[in-house]
Amino acid sequence: MSDLPAGVERRRFDGDERLATRGEPVYGEPTDGEWRAWNPNRSKLGAMLALGMETGLEGGDDETVLYLGAASGTTVSHVADVAGPTYAVEFAARPVRDLLEAADSRPRLFPLLKDARKPETYAHVVERDVNVLVQDVATRGQARVALENRRFLADDGRLLLAVKARSEDVTREPAAVFADVREELAEEYELLESRRLDDYHADHLGIVARPL
């Protein structure tokens, strides 16, 4: 199993060993004092960590993160527990209300009601040279979103992408969808690792890449 980011530990909750971060609970997850369990069944990034993928997420106040598809804050709240400035982009107004609540106790979490397919709309807010770009958007053109947001990523940064095959094309085999996504990403990224997340999320692929 790979090393975990600083601030993420394996701790026991109700007899089971789980990943955990320190912070206020967000989605009804088990807690133990200041620690909150990180549920990989509700988090693609959590699944990538649980499966031992080398994400390059290090943790620490100096690590800047851009998170695309933040929804109500389930995963990005864990990221903000361990990282520095964390920009959370979400398109739908309803989950952003929950995301704002998660940010109340996290001064390093910055919710943005924006469309990840239009990075020019938040380019004036998000600093350049972010260390980690996390993407979990349920839309067609997931590779294109990663390519369009490449502008924010530091040259030595990491893309952590969760590809949802059924959002691309519900009629095609997931393996074929994943192959197309990898091919398109290769225009601007070097793919370091990819792994199916089916243990936790059906028809999803986790990808770790770095800019070319």
H/E stretch holding 159 reads strand 153-164
Residue 179 annotated as binding site: no
Model pTM above 0.85: yes
Domain ranges for the chain: 40-211
Distance CA 189, CA 39 (A): 29
Question: Residue 1 has what pLDDT?
Answer: 43
List beta partners, residue 17.
12
Q: Give the CB-side neighbour count of residue 26, counting CA atoms within 13 A.
A: 32
Residue 64 annotated as binding site: no
The CA distances from residue 15 to 8, 30, 48, 115, in Å, are 18, 12, 22, 41
pLDDT in tens, 18-66: 999 999 999 999 999 999 999 999 999 999 999 999 999 999 999 999 9
Question: Residue 127 has what pLDDT?
Answer: 87
Distance CA 75, CA 136 (A): 10
Residue 134 annotated as binding site: no
Distance CA 206, CA 212 (A): 19
pLDDT in tens, 84-125: 999 999 999 999 999 999 999 999 999 999 999 999 999 999
pLDDT in tens, 129-172: 999 999 999 999 999 999 999 999 999 999 999 999 999 999 99
Residue 116 annotated as binding site: yes
Residue 180 annotated as binding site: no
Residue 91 annotated as binding site: yes
Residue with tokens 């390093």: 108
Mean pLDDT taken over the chain: 96
Residue 86 annotated as binding site: no
Residue 203 annotated as binding site: no
With a CB cutoff of 8 Å and minimum separation 6, the contacts of 211 are 150, 153, 154, 155, 157, 159, 188, 189, 190
Query: Could you name the CATH architecture of 40-211?
Result: 3-Layer(aba) Sandwich (3.40)
Helical ranges in 105-210 per DSSP H:
142-148, 165-168, 174-185
